[in-house]
Structure 1
Amino acid sequence: MNAPLRRVAISVLVLFTLLIINVNYIQVVRSDELRNDPGNTRVLSEEYDRERGSIVVAGTEIATSVATDDRLTYLRQYPQAELYAPVTGYYSLVYGNAQTERSMNEFLAGNDARLFARRIADLFTGRDPSGGDVVLTLDPAVQEAAMAGLEGVTGAVVALDPSSGAVLGMASTPTYDPNLLSSHDPQGIRDYWDQLNGADRDPRLNRGIGDNYPPGSVFKVVVSAAALSTGEYTPDTVIPAPDTLTLPGTNTELENFGGSSCSSTGEQSLIDALTVSCNTAFAQLGIDLGEDRVREMAEAFGMDGEKREIPLTVEASTMGDPENDAQLGVSSIGQQDVRMTPLQAAMIAAAVANDGTLMAPYLVDQLRAPDLSVVDETDPEGLSEPIIPEVADQLTEMMTSVVANGSGRAARIPGVPVAGKTGTAEVSEDVPDHNWFIGFAPADDPQIAVAVFVANGGGTGGDVSAPIAREVMQAHLDGEGG
């Protein structure tokens, strides 16, 4: 063989070798990654020939597949579209899937290992394969009250069963219609996607878990817990509460909300400081406790800087990294670099309500095979014990005072003791504040813990978010016979 032919033969051999390596890399190493890529419409097209399982809330299908006469056998539909969109997400031929449709895709599509026996039976019987149902923990009354309360604002509500961690409500506004992203009309899907892209606030973002925000005075519950847990403080311990506080090492004067005075004497009890949400008192308290104690408590409540799965992906919450006592003081009133998701805020309230034990939040109650038999069920699981029961009782007393006598009066429910904490968080100059409320009810026998977040609400947590929380808690208690 002459030299030119030899070179050509070697080149062809190298190219074939590279091709074989690439094919094996794609089929073996990257197969799962490519299959689960939400942009892989080929996989989605194959799945459209199989009846996808339903997403179910309280016996009602909130996402279901119906047979069609077009080239794609099944169409995904959402009967209560905007109400549950933050939780269901969408199942799109063009843009893949999101939220529960994505996190539980393998089970809904029938590919999950827990449906293996069903797939084998389908093979032998000739029965058309189908996916399994995902049953969620949501309370329809809570979800409806939350979405109604958020109408016209940008925000989120997350409600939990404090004794189990089950998510009772997860609302986010603005919302959208997942039916328009899940149709069989590619151009219509793209047009609606462009419309959503052009919105001032992205309706596809689940603000309850998909982003974090400065929590303002809600964080004072964490600082209170850190103080009470030392054994050196009780709700009646008197602490400094000046009209202004010069932050250590600076000339910056920290004021109370609206320049108000917390106490005519410049000091007050810890319970009174939380009741009126005194900034100077809690900034100084955080400094006195030190960063290690405040951070340890924040992380015990779940603010560890790590994302979690419920199974929807939840953005991380953190108290940040204050570099000095001045920044620690500002962090202690929920500003500086403190960031929290509404789910995390609800977890703090739930831990206090549950005698100091934080349960792992979860959204999926049961997984059912196509014959409706239960193939898996979530068992409630403790996540951490940030505080002992005695401290939880003290915090409950303090948070009950907030609603009965202080900034959270708008969360009162006639005949029901309510515990709570308001929050008003500065964002930036000339931008309206964020408004928060966390709480639980009944305070003496907690059935629901809730967090309400209104982005740039412009008022206070007490007048903007607390009334929404009241309606959400009342809705659940009414359903429970409370």
Structure 2
Amino acid sequence: MNTTLRRLSAVVMVMFLALMVSTTYTQFFRAERLNADGRNVRSIFREFNVDRGPIVVAGQPIVESVPVDTPFGFQRVFSGGDADKAQMYAPVTGFFSLVNGSTGVESAENAFLNGQADALWVDRLQNMLTGRKAQGSSVELTIDPAIQQAAWDALGGQRGSIVAVDPKTGAILAMVSKPSFDPNALAVHSTGEAGQAYQDLLNADGDPLINRAIGALYPPGSTFKLVGAAAALESGDYQGDTQISAPHRFTLPGTRTELPNFGDEVCSPTDMMSIHDAMVMSCNTAFASLAVDLGADAMRDQAAKFGFDDVFRVPMRSAVSAFPSAGDAFTPDRLALAGIGQGDVTSTPLQMAMVSAAIANHGTLMQPYLVQTIRDPELEVVQQTQPAKVRDAVSPATASALTQMMVDTVERGTGTAARISGVQVAGKTGTAQTAQGVAPHAWFTAFAPAQDPQIAVAVIVEHGGDATSEATGGRVAAPMARAVIEAALSR
């Protein structure tokens, strides 16, 4: 009998040990995977049955959670349910969806919005001790509603993006991307409706779910001539009045291909002109020739100082603007095209706004950011963004010379459509070819006032918008930048 009991006790002990090991393994080692499993209904209810914090612009919520009579308890509402306003902010806020996940600030600041961030451990402890239902933190953005509205209105029905930043701090004042979408359609608690709305957006013309300001890469066209001019001035071998080659047509090195100027114009009857005048006139042959003379390393290093090849989190991750790396077979003909922002060079609109911002800020490049302050449910500050320097992109002397070039570009060059009475605007146009027989992209980047910059802006209109083949940066994008700058200066 004793032998039987001992055997039974051993079996029971082994079973208890197995249960303990299994439970420990499940609760400790597999917990994270099980919590993240999309089939885990409890995790879905935990995420959606929370009074998620609002996303705030200028003291007003543009996204908030409201109580609803459903198993989830709360419904995410964008811009009070106003579809037009929700679309205006959608590239910034992103969406928060039961079946489609989240994007934008909703995704990047999710831990604060749902109250689970490590910095909120005191609130979580208090909630556990008092039994109080968890609340998320509010996320206050740097967006200025008047500038955002002006950018949205200026872009109209065109496909493209407008980004505006504060040159002194890096704060993003406006971020518009079109076409856009209504996040409210994705936030509904009907999985069928939310799933269909997402599929409709995936199939929609123009990829409305893409935030073109930070998520799309384009050839920057002649706006990139700012980088080439900066590289020349920073080398110490050139001044603004240095004469450089500016032929009617430039034969790409090692080829028989001739590069013309826009409209096959003649930049100079002598085939020579100053860097300053080449910028004002946006002479392709001059900057292609200059890039070859400077060499790939100098061009690449200067582009990198402006932020090309950097990863920026604003807090969403921006696509990486690129200048070809040293490991590429970067032949002189490709370098010449890169000198005018064509070929292998790609940029986000945010990156070109940062180029202008660095020039405006006496050569200092600041870290771009969208989130100003995060507050807990008691409105105590949990996190405050402080302006941060990335690096010195150019010297103050070079920034001053580039500023004068950009001012003259607007006053008497290709950017006259950006002129504002009583205000010196510094700007640079760009018309970027993409493919044979396809209308070019229209670019404009600028800052103002030139001597005390309050705003830097970049505009891109894909394939010239309504102007199609007649599009230029000066004709299409410059007036949009002017409208945004006027809104900023009238605050």
Structure 1 length normalisation: TM-score?
0.92
**Residues 132 and 370 in structure 1, CA contact (< 8 A), matched pair in contact too:** yes
Aligned 1:228-307 pairs, distance under 5 A: 228-304=233-309, 306-307=310-311
- The alignment status of 1:471 with 2:483, answered yes or no, reads yes
Q: How many angstroms apart in 1 are the aligned matches of 2:27 and 2:222?
A: 51
**Equivalent residue of 1:181, what SS?**
helix
2:64 counterpart residue number: 64
Deviation at 1:44, TM superposition (A): 3.6
Q: State the Cα distance separating 1:195 from its structure 2 match.
A: 1.7
Distance of 1:208 and 1:187 partners within structure 2:
30
Alpha carbons 2:202, 2:209 under 8 Å: kept: no
Equivalent residue, structure 2, for 1:117: 122
Q: What is the deviation of 1:123? A: 2.0
Query: 1:465 offset after TM fit, Å?
Result: 0.7
Change (3 A) 1:151 1:322: farther
Aligned partners of 2:312 and 2:368 also within 8 Å? no
Question: 1:427 maps to what in 2?
Answer: 434
Once residues 38 and 339 of structure 1 are traced to their aligned partners in structure 2, the CA distance between those partners, rounded to angstroms, is 36
Moved over 6 A (4+): 20-23, 36-41
Report if the CA contact (8 A) 1:322-1:328 is conserved. Answer: no
CA offset digits 1:58-90 (Å, max 9, x no partner): 001011000001111000000131110000000
Structure 1 residue 194, shift from structure 2 partner: 2.1
Which segments of 5 or more consecutive residues in structure 2 lack a partner in the other structure?
Answer: 1-13, 80-84
**TM alignment of 1:188-199, pairs within 5 A:** 188-199=193-204
Which SS does the other structure have where 1:62 is aligned? strand
Deviations 1:22-79 (A, max 9, x none): 9949953782x77568897753431221100000010010110000011110000001
CA RMSD of aligned residues (A): 2.1
Please point out which of 306, 313, 316 is paired with 1:312: 316
Please give the per-residue CA displacement for 1:259-308, whole angstroms capped at 9, x wherever unaligned: 1111122111111100110000000000001111010000010102x432
Output one character per residue of 1:211-232: Cα deviation in whole Å (capped at 9) or x when no partner. 2110000110000000011122
Deviations 1:428-449 (Å, cap 9, x if unpaired)? Answer: 1121111111110000100000
Is 1:85 equivalent to 2:122 in the alignment?
Answer: no
Whole-angstrom distance in 1 between the partners of 2:355 and 2:143: 19
Q: CA 1:413 to 1:365, structure 2 compared with 1: closer, same or farther past 3 Å?
A: same
Which of 378, 387, 390 is residue 385 of structure 2 equivalent to?
378
Q: Does 1:47 align with 2:47?
A: yes
Q: What residue is the counterpart of 1:393 in the other structure?
A: 400
1: distance between equivalents of 2:165 and 2:35? 33
Aligned twin of 1:361: 368
AA partner of residue 314 (structure 2): I
Give the paired residue count. 462
Question: What TM-score, normalized by structure 2, do the two folds share?
Answer: 0.90
CA distance in structure 1 between the aligned counterparts of 2:35 and 2:485, rounded to whole angstroms: 41
Q: C-alpha separation between the residues in 1 aligned to 2:234 and 2:188?
A: 54
- Which amino acid counterpart does residue 54 of structure 2 have in structure 1? S
| C-alpha distance in 1 between matches for 2:396 and 2:192 | 57
Relative distance call for 1:302 and 1:126 in structure 2 (3 A) is same
Change (3 A) 1:442 1:322: farther
Cα contact 1:39–1:95 (8 A) shared by 2: no
Deviation readout 1:90-126 (Å, 9 max, x if unpaired): 0000101001000000000000011111111222222
